[in-house]
Structure 1
Amino acid sequence: MVALALAELVVVLHYAALVFLVVGGFLARRWRWLVYPHVAMAAWGLSVVVFALDCPLTMLENELRVLGGEPPLTRGFIDTYIDGVLYPESLATPVQVLVAVLVLGSWLSLVASRRSAAPSENAVGRSPS
């Protein structure tokens, strides 16, 4: 019973990680320190997609499900809980592209906000030469 509750907690954490992947770059505009974990999350997400890696959260969920007497997932987290549930499976590739565009857009927005916030040389007390 405890193992199954922990497996459900892992599912919630997995959803939270995916939400952070999508919006973390925008959150980094407010909390600059978030850019580093967001870059790491984006790199991991890209690796999972490109190299078809097993996600450690999915592996942990499966182990907890088995400990609780349930069968492991037959497919990955996204294939089980997202594709065909939140959107049709036929839209998986466009959704991946949309997520990539949102992540890259958030980073471009972050760079643009940093540049606009940078003081000009004249603003820091230097006189023009």
Structure 2
Amino acid sequence: MTPSATDTYPRRMIYRLVGEGAMVLHMAFLVYVAVGGYLAWYRLPALWPHMACALYGLGITLIGWDCPLTDIETWGRERAGQAGLPPGGFIEHYLTGVVYPREHLLTVQLLVALSVAVSWIGALILHRRRQRHSSENRA
């Protein structure tokens, strides 16, 4: 979508900020999915929001659910006069072929899944260990 003659610079800049803000939130979400489960090593209740985000990320990856951040970023970029995201979305545009080679996408996905699994298992082990120590200290 190209900006019309009636679009003003401030309006386009606001749309660009919306698109860029969605991009930053996207990156933060991906980092949180990959390593946010380790927060539960310190506070077990942190596991629940991480589990929701990780499962949603899994749904996006395996089932093809839409990501609202992709829609928001594309909306903002197009109204700012920029190209929207490609059909592959955020990951294809910013990460695949840029941060890691395209042929390693499955490897990266498996490493993220492994990180999530290790963080959850570690959180549960630490939680049980703390419960055991606190019950021993009371006795």
1:107 matched residue in structure 2: 120
Work out the CA distance in 1 between the residues paired with 2:126 and 2:46. 15
Mapped pair 1:42 → 2:54: yes
2:104 matched residue in structure 1: 91
SS of 2:132's partner is coil
Once the two structures are superposed, the pairs formed by residues 46-61 of structure 1 within 5 Å of their partners are 46-61=58-73
Mapped pair 1:124 → 2:131: no
Unmatched segments (≥5 aa) in structure 2: 1-12
TM-score normalised by the chain length of structure 1:
0.90
2:3 matched residue in structure 1: none
Work out the CA distance in 2 between the residues paired with 1:77 and 1:5. 16
Q: How many pairs align? A: 125
**For 1:88-119, what per-residue CA distance to the aligned partner results, in whole angstroms no more than 9, with x for missing partners?**
01000011001001100100000110111113
Unmatched segments (≥5 aa) in structure 1: none
Mapped pair 1:10 → 2:22: yes
SS of 1:118's partner is helix
Once the two structures are superposed, the pairs formed by residues 19-34 of structure 1 within 5 Å of their partners are 19-34=31-46
Greater Cα shift, 27-36 or 57-66: 27-36
SS of 1:52's partner is coil
Q: Percent identity?
A: 36
Q: Which amino acid aligns with 2:90?
A: F
Once the two structures are superposed, the pairs formed by residues 72-87 of structure 1 within 5 Å of their partners are 72-74=84-86, 75-87=88-100
**For 1:29-85, what per-residue CA distance to the aligned partner results, in whole angstroms no more than 9, with x for missing partners?**
123332111000011011001111221100110111112122211231000001111
TM-score normalised by the chain length of structure 2:
0.84
Work out the CA distance in 1 between the residues paired with 2:22 and 2:28. 10
Work out the CA distance in 2 between the residues paired with 1:27 and 1:41. 14
